[in-house]
Structure formats: C-alpha cells, structure tokens
Amino acid sequence: MLTRRKALHISGAFCASSILTSPTWGQGVYPDRPVKIIVGLPAGGSVDMIARMLGQKLNTQLGQSFVVDNRPGGSGQIGMPAVAKSPADGYTLTVSPASFLTTNVSVFQSLAYQPEADFMPISRLVNQPMVLVVKDKQKYPTAAAFLAAAKSNPGSITYASSGDGSPQHLGGLMFETRTQARMLHVPYKGGALAVNDTLAGIVDAMFAVLPEALPHIQSGKLHALGLMSPQRSPVLPNVPTMAEGGLADLNLSAWIGMLAPAKTPRPIIDQLNKAVRTAMDAEFKAKLAESGIEAAPSTPEELQRIITADIKLHAELVKASGMKAL
C-alpha cells in the first residue's frame, strides 16, 4: 500500500530528476538546438577545415547542427572574446589554433580575453608539426648544413613567416635560441605569401606548418631539411626529424584545440570530449593524415596543461627574440 510518506518521497525524487534533465540546466538533453563553433580565422585554412569536419561528425552523433561561424581578424581578438562572453551553456564553442591561446599572451600588450581564465578546454584535436624547408637543395642539403651556414654568416640567412608571433616565427625563434644561430626574420601578411616567396627563392627558408608546405615538398619545389617533431611523419617517411639530423631539442607543434566558455557545466564538457574522441575514427584520421595532420585528442586536463606549458615556452622564445609587444 502506498503511504502518504512514500508518495511524497517518490514525488520529490521525480521533481529532482526533472530539474536535472531540463533544458534549463543543459544536462541530460544537451544539445537540444544548433551549436555554434566560432573560428577566429577565415574559411579555407586548416583550422576552419578541421572545425567543419568535426562539426559534421558531431552533427551525426548528437543529432544537432554544429555550425562554423568564421570571425577573422586581430589574431584572434575578434573571435575569441565573442566565445568568452557567450553563455556557458555549451551552445557556443571555439576551434582555435595554439597561438590564440599561448603566443598572444606574450605578443600583445593587452588581450581582449584571458586564455586560461575565460575558457574551459574540451580537447586538443590535432598536432601539426613544423618543418624547415628551403628552395636551394644544393646550398642547404641538410639541417646541419643550414645551421653551419647560419652560424658562418650571422644575420644573413632569411626566413619567412606569416607574421610576428606566428607558428613559423616561433619555429625560427626556437631554432635560433636552441642552436645559438642568428638569422633575419621576414614577416608576411599571411602564410600563403610567405610560402610563395620561399618558393621563389626571395627568402632562404621557412619553418612551415607541415600542411602548408606538404604539396610543395611532394612536388619537389621545396626541400625539407627536418621535422620539428619527436617522430617522422607518415606522409614524409624519408624526411628526418631535427634530432636525427643532429639538432636536438627542437620540437614545436602548431596544435589546434576545442574549447568552451569558462564555467560551462562539466557534464557538457565530458559529453563533448567523448563525442570528439568518437568522431576521430579511422576515416577521420586518414583524411587528416593526407594533409600531414595528426589526430591527437586529449582530456580537458591534458589540454589545460599544454596551454599552460606553451604560454611559458612561447614567452621565453618571444623574450629571447627581443620583440616588442604589439
């Protein structure tokens, strides 16, 4: 027989369950409407490509559209604040390059967002190793030969980048700092322009993000001297790592991660992390690998540790360069 006390207990439990699974709390029914993924870069680059690939997978898994919203400009200072100021309900996310979360702390005098305080990491998505490339294979046949030339002619060898504080710039700074060589940095307004002038021989070298240089390496138009990675790339099995070429401690990745606004409920973060890991199936990884990109999902805590460590590393490299904050 159902007593009044038992009836009240059951009713109370039902009410508590209803509150926890209601759309207001964002748990149990998430997502129940489209999710926006803000990318602080133009459409067409590797960050945008990965955001769109992942969005399609998450759409299939979770039954809601994950729509990419490109907000380029200001080295992330348009898109990233928009995410930081959004409601922490899981319906506004970002897929961001490492530089927006790490290098910008040292490059800019002030930021419109705080990388460690304003965001909740979901997962690292991919690693993109850096690779040292040159046009003149005869003059610079190996990384060791390139280093010898740089040391013999301080400040005369030029290397291109997509701008101050960019991954390509950091690659050059790391090379100089760790080898005690001195080169001349030539910043461009974008990676495409930097690659074009490297192809033309206007600059001597480029510490390129692998996907942007891969087609030119495969065609023979650029010569890869060494990967700034602990291991070789499956798409370039004959290109040695810097360590294999005799240059130790030169590892740098232009990774990409997914994050949400700070204070997003942990159940939503966990659900998205699990969905990301599931999305990165064999087909997804194979498609990335064709472009020289390594799928590298992580836990939220691992991504937070990577961000913290890279903020420190990039600050050291920027300081060593003597570059003034913008």
Q: Are residues 275 and 298 in the same domain?
A: yes
Calpha distance 220→290 (Å, rounded)? 17
Indicate whether 19 belongs to any domain. no
Percent of the chain scored above 70 by pLDDT? 91
**CB under 8 Å, gap of 24 or more: what pairs does 144-149 form?**
144/245, 144/246, 144/247, 146/205, 146/225, 147/179, 147/181, 147/247
Length of the chain: 326
Q: Are residues 74 and 51 in the same domain?
A: yes
Q: Are residues 116 and 264 in the same domain?
A: yes
CATH number at residue 217: 3.40.190.10
Q: Which domain-ending residue is among 228, 245, 263?
A: 228
pLDDT of residue 28: 58
Residue 2 scores a pLDDT above 70: no
Calpha distance 212→225 (Å, rounded)? 15
The whole-number average pLDDT for the span 125-149 is: 95
CATH number at residue 294: 3.40.190.150
Q: Are residues 123 and 265 in the same domain?
A: yes
pLDDT tens per residue, range 152-174: 999 999 999 988 778 999 999 99
Q: Are residues 79 and 117 in the same domain?
A: yes
Indicate whether 249 belongs to any domain. no
Q: Are residues 48 and 91 in the same domain?
A: yes
CA distances from 305 to 96, 116, 128, 274, 311 (A): 16, 10, 18, 19, 10
Indicate whether 192 belongs to any domain. yes
**CB under 8 Å, gap of 24 or more: what pairs does 195-200 form?**
195/160, 197/160, 198/133, 198/134, 198/135, 198/160, 198/222, 199/135, 200/135
Q: Are residues 220 and 202 in the same domain?
A: yes
The whole-number average pLDDT for the span 67-78 is: 90
3-class SS of residue 252: coil
Q: What range defines the domain where residue 192 resides? A: 130-228
Q: Are residues 144 and 195 in the same domain?
A: yes
The answer to whether the CB of 127 falls within 8 A of the CB of 255 is yes
pLDDT band for 25, please (50, 70, 90 cuts). very low
Indicate whether 239 belongs to any domain. no
Helix, strand and coil in the chain, % to nearest 5: 40, 20, 40
Q: Could you tell me the sign of the dihedral formed by the alpha carbons of 208, 211, 212, 213, in that order?
A: positive
Indicate whether 152 belongs to any domain. yes
Q: Are residues 159 and 200 in the same domain?
A: yes
More confident residue, 41 or 55: 55
pLDDT band for 102, please (50, 70, 90 cuts). very high
Q: Are residues 262 and 224 in the same domain?
A: no
pLDDT tens per residue, range 221-235: 999 999 999 999 999
pLDDT of residue 19: 36
The whole-number average pLDDT for the span 89-96 is: 98
Indicate whether 205 belongs to any domain. yes
More confident residue, 300 or 15: 300
Q: Are residues 122 and 167 in the same domain?
A: no
Indicate whether 5 belongs to any domain. no
Q: Which residues contact 76 (CB under 8 A, 6 or more apart)?
A: 40, 41, 96, 97, 99, 100, 104
Question: How many domains, the chain?
Answer: 2
Q: Which domain-ending residue is among 164, 194, 228?
A: 228
pLDDT of residue 236: 93
Q: Which residues contact 265 (CB under 8 A, 6 or more apart)?
A: 25, 26, 27, 88, 89, 90
Indicate whether 244 belongs to any domain. no
pLDDT of residue 189: 79
Q: Are residues 114 and 134 in the same domain?
A: no
Pairing of strands 256-261, 184-187: unpaired
Question: In the β-sheet with 205-209, what is the strand arrangement from edge to edge?
Answer: 184-187, 158-161, 205-209, 130-134, 223-228
